[in-house]
Structure 1
Amino acid sequence: MSKGSVEEQVKELREQLEHHEHLYYVMDTPELTDGQYDSLMNRLKALEAEHPEMVTSDSPTQRVGGKPADGFQKVKHSRPMLSLDNAYNEEDLRAWDVRVRGGLPGTEAVAYTCELKLDGLSLALHYRGASHDGSQLERGLTRGDGTTGEDVTSNVRTIRSIPLTISAAKLKAAGLPMEFEVRGECVMPHAAFLKMNEEFEAAGLAAKANPRNAAAGTIRTLEPNIVAQRRLDFYAYFLLQAEGGEMLLGSQSEALTALGKAGMRVNPQVATVDSIDGVWEFIQRCEPLRDSLGYEIDGIVIKVDKAAQQRRLGFTGKAPRWAIAYKFAARAGVTKLEGVAFQVGRTGKVTPVAQLSPVFIGGTTVKRATLHNPDEIVRLGVRIGDFVSVERGGDVIPKITGVVLEKPRGTQEIVFPECCPACGSALVKEEGEVDWRCVNASCPARLREELIHFGARGVMNIEGLGDAMVGQLLGQVEDAVDETDIEKEEAAAPVTVREPLVRSIADLYRLTKEQLVGLERVGDKSAQALLDEIAKSKKAPLSRVLLGLGIRHVGQRTAELLASHFGAIEPLMGATQDELVQVNEIGPIVAATVHDFFAQEQNQALVKELLEIGLEMKAEKRVTTTVLEGLTFVLTGTLPTLTREIAKEKIEAAGGRVSGSVSKKTDYVVAGEDAGSKLEKAESLGVKVVDEAGLLELLEGAKE
């Protein structure tokens, strides 16, 4: 194939992928299935792998190509990103309208553009003319302190609704130059927020309080691959000149139209009106939409439409005079606390859930709300029988915010259980934490999600052991779940119950074909396929089994460290906390969690069963040396041929340790291209610095 022909194919594939990404992530009108899209992407990846000289930074394959950041560089904004003054009622809004008209000459007509006030974090995107046909995303900045933001470009590139390149044709259609700045809001949709919190809970991490905090925390994550896994959306709402920060077009309404033509996602809920009455009508129309949008809004932003009028009105010390934010009232209601149920999640966390007299809040009838943990119950001073304030705001999940003291008080104290409400095991609370947990791996309340997790790819990899199959194995056929369930993993979904085939993880390995064929939509072939997958999982290495047992704080990395150190399950089960702390990278919190898990009689019995059934539970054998034993390395920058993961594996296989930060105890810093602050710190501390070639020389004795 000629080079010209390859270039044409690469260009065509990129254009197709960019077109379909725009349809999917911006317009919400996909034309391809996921499989068809993946097929196009894989063809492009293959061509770029064969012809690496054709890879460009704006290729769709490079969205998640950024290296982990050592930190975020501070960059001054072209124009301050100021906050807005707030209006909380119609009177405030009309007073602002009077001030606007008073700041303009004579009886000059004023039009207002009204937009949804998205509850996320602001970003400034800088586009610059590229060497090829069009304009390319050069930089993405957070709001920061309003004057100076943080350069989060590598993370911004992973957001699919942000175009990496805008073609000359689109620029022409939008009436835009090659260089300009776009400002907008980055949000995390409700579905992505709930999914992320489920994953956090499964990993033993604290859940994020609301989508706004989750979006802000995600965009400041130092690893672009993590950012890419959480679906963030970006809505453009402002268009500025590249230099000087002046408004690029003659009006805000023109800017929004141009942004849409350029391929940016612009929120469809927008209107330009010629009076404050029109503004109020827009507010009244949009507020009821809050529960159906799929993302958080907390008000309406109103801007004077004409750029010339904006310039004349100017700014106060902290906000523009030509814009204001109308803030919605919190969606709240008052109802009676009828009782408290205690739900057990997959990781064993016990959550008190308030059972309420039904109350209509923000378009939904709320019957339950979270009380979070025992400390929150004490803080609120709430008792059963109290009348309580309930909110549905940015936290998505309804929550109790206080007791209505003017109403009659309840008399029944809320008593947090000492034992698991599902299995009776003693609950455990780690030092410094507020949550109580059941650590019995066979607890029936945990079992459904435990089984799904156990069979997942990357854990025991039992294909066919999905949600529907697990439900049938547990004898459950689910009905519809109430919208107000606290979390998917902790929801008490209505079910039709049959005699379960599985009551513990060990029971998976006792299933027969006859039992499986008796289930709905399971034939002889699919039953045998599942049994083969289950049998194959017996050979899974110890690290996978440890991950599958769902021990809190034990993720993939920790499981591998424990497996490598102990070699088999028996010595790990008998290890003391002091012995666990001796494992590389294992601290006292993780050591205590692992020790407590294996101290439980139920968990000891489960492991014994698994061994008797035939699970090997041995560490994978790796050829290692001690050539780097006792040495600590820090990796920074991009190495010529090795990825960080491969470099880390090589160092650890040779007995070395890889740390994330430089200190006086660091023996070597391995520095590649674009090495950051870690290199500077190494030089200031006198730590030895080597490149990839130097690392390979040190590893010479580690070759298999």
Structure 2
Amino acid sequence: MATAHTAEEQIEKLREEIRHHEYLYYMLDAPEISDAQYDALMNQLKKLEAEHPGLITPDSPTQRVGGKPGGGFAKVAHSRPMLSLDNAYNAEELRAWDSRVRTGLSSSESVKYVCELKLDGLSMALQYTAAQDGSARLQRGLTRGDGTTGEDVTTNVRTIRSVPLSVSAKKLAAAKLPQDFEVRGEVVLPHVAFVKMNEERVAQGMAPAANPRNAAAGTIRTLEPNIVAQRRLDLYAYFLLRDGETLLPTHTETLEALRTAGFRVNPHAKTVKNIDGVIEFIAAAEPLRETLGYEIDGVVIKVDSTAQQRRLGFTGKAPRWAIAYKFAARAAVTKLEDVHFQVGRTGKVTPVAVLVPVLIGGTTVTRATLHNADEIARLGVKIGDSVQVERGGDVIPKIVEVVEDKQHPRGNKEIVFPSTCPVCGTELVRVEGEVDWRCINNSCPARVREELLHWASRGVMNIEGLGDAMVAQLLGQAPTFDGETAEVTEEGAPITTRKPLIYNIADLYRLKREQLLGLERVGEKTADALLAQIDRSCSAGLARVLLGLGIRFVGERTAQLLAQHFGSIEALKKATAEELEAVNEVGPKVAQAIVEFFAIEKNQQLISDLESLGLKMTAEKKVVGTALNGLTFVLTGTLPNLTRDEAKERIEAAGGKVSGSVSKKTSFVVAGEEAGSKLEKAQSLGVKILDEEGLLELLKG
């Protein structure tokens, strides 16, 4: 047996050798030794560490698979929100975005763009902290979550071979990185691993996963790290942060620093001088999607300069300095076997096509939306027809046309849109001017089910464990497990198998442990975890409650604005349509929908019940000045000192509203350099024009 000093040297030498071979194999796809030789090195290291457990460190190659996460995944706030990207679908939209970028910067500036493949996986944030030996060690891996808060999946991330458990002091120096930093990237499941995983699932009597992206997301949230390790996930890094701020002057330098530090960076990236270069890159990238061995669904374009990124800033949901170009939808021809009618949480009835299974872009499609009765009539589609199906945005399948030729004869069974709700039998209503038919029964089981799923979703109350199967059981319906089909009636309505435990959202907060223990596949740990999640959601705040209530036209941004403006549910309930329209971005249609929602007795009772059950129905009220009350502004061009975001914030803080278009109702247009068509329209309508100095004078008043 080696002495401690000798063992320490041997262990460190073995670790360096194994890390070197892991880098060659997982990062460069250029192994120098066989799998058997690699395994021999790993076994030698394991043996030495077993003899000297005091020498085991968290970044040792043997520690990639640790213990189980305790009781699920903890929620952790991101250092900086992980936002989504705006999309473009053609060259015209890309050029319009390029124009907006240049308008947001000085006219004398040149703009370079970096083009990268848009990987179809899940976003991940990796946080590294300083170690005593001068290296940086992986401290935490977070999922995107709702964009502001992610789930701590560190134990599973450590199993991904392309994620360095540590970055040596030498590599940090070469990459010019500090010891504490954050890397963001995309986790993907390669096609080979996806096929193998599905073969194993089928052999075990389980339904195959629908596509690699869903499989990757499900894998990273598995509570068994050994399973995660077997799946062979991969991570491509594309972003560097420190304390929520970008580290290097350009994105090009960021990608190079990541490579130097030992992270896997996708090789298909290019810095171009203008939007024409972007369009050329896209044309070359699209044919690659069939040959890469992993899923992509487009190209991401970013402004290269970090300083320019900061000046361009963000909208409420996305950076202005980046955009995603989405590839054309993939399509295939298959047969329409039947149509079911699905009832959503607002009562909207959607026809869903039942298809002969067909593979489109790596995903087996068995269902597609037909949108509404008007779309069925427009397509002229019948049951038995051959139809062309597209994955819209490579996500939601839809029928785009009927295919008719010698090999594809027409069907002969008409699709009859129901006159009553297929679930509760209530007569359907179609509001004048709208295309959708709706069930107006607020107690309809299908509506209640969708309301509960919406309430529990990640972007609303984020109640982990309250998914399809659990909600079905709580409502007394047959659950769905492992992709199997739940029991339904001929009309597609869920079959009730027992007395419901809940009838509405408020009943969630009345659930008892013993009730949950009586459900299928629910043990003590599952019951306790769900009750803890439900209890935690009580403190989510007013904006999340408003979003969860499902008020028509009230999305995340509007819910936040209403919460900040009124500060409490009581104040909001009493607001008139005129008072609601005074809130920035709330128009007459939204205001009327809010008034109508709070006028319904059932909704009043639900809110009262939720309050009495301990849900937080207040928010920090945003103090708004009165200097610009009742005035509407449009911003155009580049101002000398204020960015567009800063100008908007100051106008809104003074009680004014900012609109994106000029009309007769516009009070002032604030114009800077290269103001363009908005200035011309303002002049033609006789709208008053201000420069930055004039705006600042108004703000003083």
**3-state SS of paired residue (2:245):** coil
Q: 1:385 to 1:80 in 2, by over 3 A?
A: closer
Name which of 515, 525, 531 aligns with 1:661: 525
Aligned residue for 1:249? 248
CA apart distance, 1:202: 2.0
Q: 1:59 to 1:404 in 2, by over 3 A?
A: same
Q: What CA distance in whole angstroms lies between the structure 2 residues aligned with 1:122 and 1:332?
A: 26
What does 1:458-497 align with in structure 2 at a 5 Å threshold? none
Q: 1:588 to 1:84 in 2, by over 3 A?
A: closer
Matched, 1:32 2:33: yes
Q: What CA distance in whole angstroms lies between the structure 2 residues aligned with 1:325 and 1:315?
A: 15
Work out whether residues 218 and 227 of structure 1, in 8 Å CA contact, stay in contact via their aligned partners in 2. Answer: yes
Q: What CA distance in whole angstroms lies between the structure 2 residues aligned with 1:56 and 1:72?
A: 23
Matched, 1:269 2:268: yes
Question: How many pairs align?
Answer: 404
CA apart distance, 1:410: 2.7
CA apart distance, 1:588: 12
**3-state SS of paired residue (1:661):** helix
Matched, 1:330 2:329: yes
Q: What CA distance in whole angstroms lies between the structure 2 residues aligned with 1:271 and 1:255?
A: 13
What is the TM-score with the length of structure 1 in the denominator? 0.52
**3-state SS of paired residue (1:65):** coil
Q: What CA distance in whole angstroms lies between the structure 2 residues aligned with 1:216 and 1:355?
A: 23
Q: What CA distance in whole angstroms lies between the structure 2 residues aligned with 1:383 and 1:404?
A: 13
Work out whether residues 138 and 165 of structure 2, in 8 Å CA contact, stay in contact via their aligned partners in 1. Answer: yes
What does 1:197-208 align with in structure 2 at a 5 Å threshold? 197-208=198-209
Work out whether residues 126 and 138 of structure 2, in 8 Å CA contact, stay in contact via their aligned partners in 1. Answer: yes
Give the AA of the match of 1:404.
E
Work out whether residues 390 and 400 of structure 2, in 8 Å CA contact, stay in contact via their aligned partners in 1. Answer: no
**Identity in percent:** 60
Q: What CA distance in whole angstroms lies between the structure 1 residues aligned with 2:235 and 2:284?
A: 23
What does 1:3-402 align with in structure 2 at a 5 Å threshold? 3-241=4-242, 243=243, 245-333=244-332, 335=333, 372=366, 386-389=386-389, 402=399
CA apart distance, 1:386: 2.6
Work out whether residues 367 and 397 of structure 2, in 8 Å CA contact, stay in contact via their aligned partners in 1. Answer: no
Work out whether residues 134 and 168 of structure 1, in 8 Å CA contact, stay in contact via their aligned partners in 2. Answer: yes
Work out whether residues 212 and 394 of structure 1, in 8 Å CA contact, stay in contact via their aligned partners in 2. Answer: no
Q: What CA distance in whole angstroms lies between the structure 2 residues aligned with 1:271 and 1:374?
A: 36
**3-state SS of paired residue (1:302):** strand
Q: Deviations over 1:575-619 (max 9, x none)?
A: xxxxxxxxxxxx9999xx9xxxxxxxxxxxxxxxxxxxxxxxxxx
Work out whether residues 72 and 151 of structure 1, in 8 Å CA contact, stay in contact via their aligned partners in 2. Answer: yes
Aligned residue for 1:526? none
CA apart distance, 1:2: 2.3
CA apart distance, 1:375: 14
Q: Deviations over 1:212-236 (max 9, x none)?
A: 1111111111221111111110000
**3-state SS of paired residue (1:146):** coil
Q: What CA distance in whole angstroms lies between the structure 2 residues aligned with 1:261 and 1:210?
A: 32
Q: 1:338 to 1:309 in 2, by over 3 A?
A: closer
Q: What CA distance in whole angstroms lies between the structure 1 residues aligned with 2:64 and 2:202?
A: 28
CA apart distance, 1:677: 7.8
Give the AA of the match of 1:120.
G
Instruction: Structure 1 unaligned segments of length 5 or more: list them.
Output: 340-350, 415-586, 594-657, 667-675, 682-704
Q: 1:207 to 1:355 in 2, by over 3 A?
A: closer
What does 1:510-529 align with in structure 2 at a 5 Å threshold? none
Q: 1:179 to 1:336 in 2, by over 3 A?
A: closer
Name which of 398, 402, 417 aligns with 1:405: 402
Q: 1:373 to 1:321 in 2, by over 3 A?
A: closer
Q: Give RMSD over aligned pairs.
A: 3.8
Give the AA of the match of 1:388.
Q
Q: What CA distance in whole angstroms lies between the structure 1 residues aligned with 2:287 and 2:43?
A: 43
CA apart distance, 1:282: 0.5
**3-state SS of paired residue (1:326):** strand
**3-state SS of paired residue (1:268):** coil
Q: What CA distance in whole angstroms lies between the structure 1 residues aligned with 2:480 and 2:174?
A: 58
Q: What CA distance in whole angstroms lies between the structure 1 residues aligned with 2:479 and 2:109?
A: 69
CA apart distance, 1:68: 3.7
**3-state SS of paired residue (2:525):** coil
Instruction: Structure 2 unaligned segments of length 5 or more: list them.
Output: 338-353, 371-375, 414-477, 485-521, 537-701
Q: What CA distance in whole angstroms lies between the structure 1 residues aligned with 2:101 and 2:393?
A: 31
Q: Deviations over 1:106-137 (max 9, x none)?
A: 31011001111111110110011112241100
CA apart distance, 1:78: 0.7
What is the TM-score with the length of structure 2 in the denominator? 0.53
